[in-house]
Chains A and B, each alone.
Chain A
Amino acid sequence: MSFDATYKEKKLKSVGTRPLRPDGVDKVTGRARYGADFNMPGQLVARVLRSPHAHARIMRIDVSRAVALKGVKAVITAADLPDLTNGNAALYAILDNCMARTKAFYDGHAVAAVAAIDAKVAREALKLIEVEYDVLPHVVDVDAAMAPDAPLLDENLFTQGIDPAPTTPSNVGNRSEFGHGDVESGFAKADVIVERSYKTEQTHQGYIEPHACVASCNVDGTAEMWVCTQGHFVYRQTCADLLGLEVSKLRVTSSEIGGGFGGKTHVWAEPLALALSRKAGRPVKLVMSREEVFRASGPTSQTSIDVKIGATKDGKITAALATLRYSSGPYADSWAETGAMTSFACYDLENVKTVGFEVIVNRPKVAAYRAPSAPMAAFAVESAIDELAHKIGMDSVELRIKNAASEGSRSSYGPIYGPIGIGPTLEAARTHPHMSAPLGKNQGRGMACGFWFNFGGQTCTDLNISADGTVTLAVGTVDVGGSRASLSLIAAEELGISYDDVKAVIADTSTLGYNDMTDGSRGTFSSSMATISAARNAIVTMRERAALMWDIPVEDVAWEEGHAKAVGASYDNRAPLSVKDIAAEAGNTGGPIAGHSELVADGAGVSFGTHICDVEVDPETGATRVIRYTVIQDAGKAVHPAYVEGQYQGGAAQGIGWALNEEYVYGADGRLQNPGFLDYRIPVCSDLPMIDTQILEIPNPNHPYGVRGVGETSIVPPLAAVANAVSDAVGVRMVHVPVSPPRILAALNAKAKG
């Protein structure tokens, strides 16, 4: 059935209110079941043996002593996961990352796994596995990996995207380029040029729930998996591909998810749990330790970025250039490309060029982290813009407003923008009381903008109307931050019923059609589109049923405010039929009433935000406290404003942590020094102030209610906003994130020495 997704302005009753979330009681009473909170009969406990070396050839693995240990039911190595990837490099990277095949590429890379009757036996079994390594030279730093004499991770990697193609291998997987105009002529027109190099360190999503799953493979080729994931359909496909299972025979149920932020979009150990279950013939539970989460799952890229921006005296940018180097772990991916696309997306530029280099290093395979790759690029660009404003002697908000992209602007990555929110967020910042509040001693203020694409994708939804007129909404996008509440609001709005009469659930892979994962800020955007479509389909059916009940032509039945209404003078005395009235008669009018929807949600509106940050820096120690923080972002339409605010605040907090203290610290031996919450310092409650939010609503023309994705953009500006604030407070330009106390003190010492 065709679906018109065009935005139509109308008064909304449910959307925009703040009802209690449907999963709230379960979550405050300890009843919500997360990845590790599920057990199956006869289940075994799995553990993974991991490489202690940053780079080593695996010469021999002897598992015989582990296999012989009483209570051990299966031991697997890469030999138990034959390569079924058929030349698909991305899938091969996942396979090799799950279990090292010939070389261990990073400290923490899996080399073997066991399933045993309990954790104690599994732990003992790991110690009995003998692995002989040939330790190779390693490289963990993105710049060092690009040096001509760097140790090579892959002797067969020749940089793609360069013409002519290189004849010698390197650690650079590919080069990408975006932009338009001619930057050289643009710089020639500039009165002022800022040129600087920046660096950002690798961070982790830091979800509080470690990866966990329970897998059960049966001899008949069927299998089940319970897992914390952002995309159970994607996990099903990947696991089936890697293990040679038939996709529809693998049933994956997503647990409640204890945070993901992109880190639960890739499979990590789930294929191992399935392989162990297949070998042992029993269900297997695999839960990562916190140390394993840090060593072997999802960090973001470490980056090194050069930016050059030229402008006229009156603040018009004439040219902008960025070279971006992103580490991707041991397998080339497209993180630098995304960084290159987002770099200058906030601005309307005549001459712009960005070049990205994808660099492989001996660190864990990089995973998406909330607007992946954009925060680092924004740090570099927004720092340079800040410096440019200082150099010109112009207010930094004014400079940005003067150059902001707007409807009709050609973006630096290609497309022409529709209606967008960068200008309005900047105008809101200019007039926000935060911007003019006085600052005290040792305090500084910074601001920055950010952009994220947002994503739509494949979506499938079922809306079932029960006999009592209440509604079950089955969606396939995992609820990572309150989408069951927002989707229930959408269903209530479209059907014209009460929010309390809708119950949203996340369906498993066997009970609903395929859904892309919850990423790209698509959960509420795409599933709301499918929910509206499903609801409209249900309304078509309900009109038909009402027509039958009244015995009149369906053309004479309209749907208004949750009721079927007979239209026309001859039906004057017919009371409108509510959803409840129609549902009660469903058994006599054709059976169950449901609405289904399968669609590709196109037209996710791009999203922009502007952040303002005040800090206080102790000039004697470099200690930095964020004392005030404001997030201004375009939501398109805030379906459940409390959870939109939550997304703004959460992203800001993660960005503040990245800006100030979070980083992967490697030793000279290439081993991760801080794989735990003690020394990987995410913000604690006492580190942060209240985070003020301002929701702007510039409707997305491609969504019936104007909804845009809101989940990711909020992490994009904070690195620059914080660094600009610190730079303002200490009078030194901070170019290396995190701007940790040792870096601040070193910069102050250098300044004092002149």
Chain B
Amino acid sequence: MTSIAVSTTINGDDVEFLCRADETLLDVLRNRLGLMGAKEGCGTGDCGACSTIMDGRVVCSCLVLGAETEGREIETIEGMANGSDLHPLQSKFIEHAALQCGVCTPGFLMAAKALLAAHPDPTEKEIRFWLAGNLCRCTGYDKIVRAVQDAAAEMRGEGT
């Protein structure tokens, strides 16, 4: 078996790893790099629990081969907080009780971060459709949507 050597950027750091051709980015993050924040809820792109941001776009890391990330820039949940300062989305999720079991939370946060980068002032409908690829079975989404709205307002400097 021949492994592939990959050089990529993860959360701003240069990272090199070896992987088999059939390993996904999710496999690499979890099993080779110890970045377990991305979860495998389905492995087929239906739940969004493994969402990461690749070159500025949110993707399911279960649907990206590790080998494909050569030269790319990857952001994961582990890089979302700035040191000990939580990202506004992270704070608002806790504040609004937007998580119960929390297993979908990293994926929601990555998807919401990409949303607010593209649409700083999204409507409720835009939030709901953007996040439709992230399944949550605990909350009924109500508090998640409110947390994203509140974080967006804070990031726009509107305060709460």
Contacts and interface: CB of A to CB of B under 8 A. Distances in A.
A296 to B, nearest CB: 15
A514 B30 CA distance: 34
B37 A646 contact: no
A11 interface: no
Given A25-B86, A653-B141, A686 B129 contact: yes
A715 to B, nearest CB: 11
A677 B45 CA distance: 9
A660 to B, nearest CB: 14
Interface string B59-102: 00000000000000000111011000010001001111101111
Given A30-B78, A258-B101, A677 B43 contact: no
Contacts of A691: 140, 142
B8 interface: no
A676 B142 contact: no
A29 B145 contact: no
A27 interface: yes
B100 to A, nearest CB: 4
A36 B86 CA distance: 25
B49 interface: yes
A34 interface: yes
Interface centre among B39, B44, B76, B128 (most CB of A within 10 A): B39
Interface stretch (A135-143, A207-215, A245-253, A550-558): A207-215
Interface in A216-262: 256-261
Interface residues of B, number: 58
B160 to A, nearest CB: 15
Contacts of A686: 125, 128-129, 131-132
Contacts of A289: 43
B102 A258 contact: yes
A290 B43 contact: yes
A28 B103 contact: no
The winner among A25, A257, A259 for most chain B CB atoms within 10 A is A259
A305 interface: no
B139 A20 contact: no
A24 interface: yes
A685 B141 contact: yes
Contacts, number: 179
Contacts of B22: 120
A623 interface: no
A77 B86 CA distance: 49
A688 B140 contact: yes
Contacts of B41: 208-210, 258, 290, 677
B37 A29 contact: yes
Contact of B101 (A30, A31, A207): A207
Given A18-B97, A30-B76, A690-B142, A650 B137 contact: yes
Contacts of B35: 30
Contacts of A482: 97, 100
A425 B8 CA distance: 57
A588 B100 CA distance: 42
A222 B93 CA distance: 41
A677 B94 contact: no
B109 A28 contact: yes
Given A24-B94, A678-B46, A686-B129, A258 B39 contact: yes
Given A289-B43, A649-B142, A480 B100 contact: yes
A26 B124 CA distance: 27
A165 interface: no
Nearest to A27: B102
A37 B29 CA distance: 12
Given A30-B106, A208-B101, A210-B41, A677 B46 contact: yes
B86 A650 contact: no
Interface string A297-314: 000000000000000000
Given A258-B41, A258-B102, A690-B145, 7 more contacts: A21-B94, A23-B102, A24-B93, A209-B101, A209-B103, A480-B101, A677-B135
14 contacts: A27-B102, A28-B99, A29-B37, A29-B81, A208-B41, A208-B136, A209-B39, A256-B101, A481-B101, A642-B96, A677-B41, A677-B44, A685-B128, A690-B146
